[in-house]
A = this chain, B = another copy of it.
Amino acid sequence: MRMADLTSRAGVSSATVKWYIRIGLLPRGESTARNQARYDERHLHRIRLIRALLEVGGLTVEQTQQVLAAVDDPERGAADVAAAAHAAVSRRVAHQHTAEALPAVDRYLAARKWTVGESSPARADLAAVLAALRLLSGPIGNDDASPAADADADIARLLDPYADALEPLARSEVAGLPPAVHRGELAERIVLGTVLMDQAISALRRLAQENAFTAAADRK
């Protein structure tokens, strides 16, 4: 198809398409004549993927470049593509007490027998939340002989209901991925499953909460 057909089907301007090509998000079309190029369904699909990551996923252009570079690299396996998507989704918050909460996160992961790399940004993201919540709840187990163990029990009480729900979900997400021979499809599914489903889960949780508030009010 020509540029005009591509832009009308994708709902983007030709300036946007040219910019995507210039920054390496989108491959060039096939040159057919001077200043003319032909595009195919793969270009259309790729533009839709770029827009989904930018607009719905909320990634920056730079994060989208990094994620799509992982998708495009035939050397990178499923876990590696997932790591790139995870890095893009990470808030990478720099809470002033994150470092102090990291050991508690690692003890929690060890207690759950979850194998997670030291450099995974999700560790620090979780530590930042725990550090912020701890500051807001005040010191716990102050008068106790084993404050660290008490804090660990508080963290497990807070996180276990979510981790118990997410663990089997993650297992079936990974089990349901296409086989490694379909690498392109596999990589894209991993990215969408991380970036877009993160938004879907956040939205579903708010909808479930709103429903729970309404139900609680009705019972009164």
The contact of A210 among B86, B96, B211, B214, by CB within 8 Å, is B86
Contact-residue size bin, chain A (C-beta under 8 Å from the other chain): 35 or more
Interface 9-mer from A13-21, A22-30, A87-95, A143-151: A87-95
Q: How many copies of the polypeptide does the oligomer hold? A: 2
Say yes or no for A34: interface residue by CB 8 A criterion.
no
CB-based contact A210/B82 at 8 Å:
yes
Say yes or no for A199: interface residue by CB 8 A criterion.
yes
Say yes or no for A115: interface residue by CB 8 A criterion.
yes
CB-based contact B55/A116 at 8 Å:
no
CB-based contact A201/B203 at 8 Å:
no
CB-based contact B205/A115 at 8 Å:
no
Scoring A116, A161, A171, A204 by chain B CB atoms within 10 A of each residue's CB, the highest score goes to A204
CA distance A51 to B173 in the complex (A): 34
Scoring A122, A188, A216 by chain B CB atoms within 10 A of each residue's CB, the highest score goes to A122
**In the complex, residue of chain B having the shortest beta-carbon distance to the beta carbon of A198:** B202
Q: Report if A122-B86 is in contact (Cβ < 8 Å); known contacts: A169-B162, A196-B132.
A: no
CB-based contact A192/B122 at 8 Å:
no
CB-based contact B93/A58 at 8 Å:
yes
Say yes or no for A5: interface residue by CB 8 A criterion.
no
Say yes or no for A1: interface residue by CB 8 A criterion.
no
Interface string of A24-50 (1 = CB under 8 A from B): 000000000000000000000100110
Say yes or no for A74: interface residue by CB 8 A criterion.
no
A-B contact pairs, 28 of them (CB 8 A): A48-B135, A49-B136, A55-B94, A55-B128, A56-B93, A56-B132, A79-B213, A79-B214, A86-B206, A86-B209, A89-B202, A115-B215, A116-B207, A120-B206, A120-B210, A122-B203, A123-B207, A130-B200, A159-B204, A161-B172, A162-B201, A162-B204, A166-B208, A167-B212, A174-B209, A194-B206, A201-B201, A202-B202
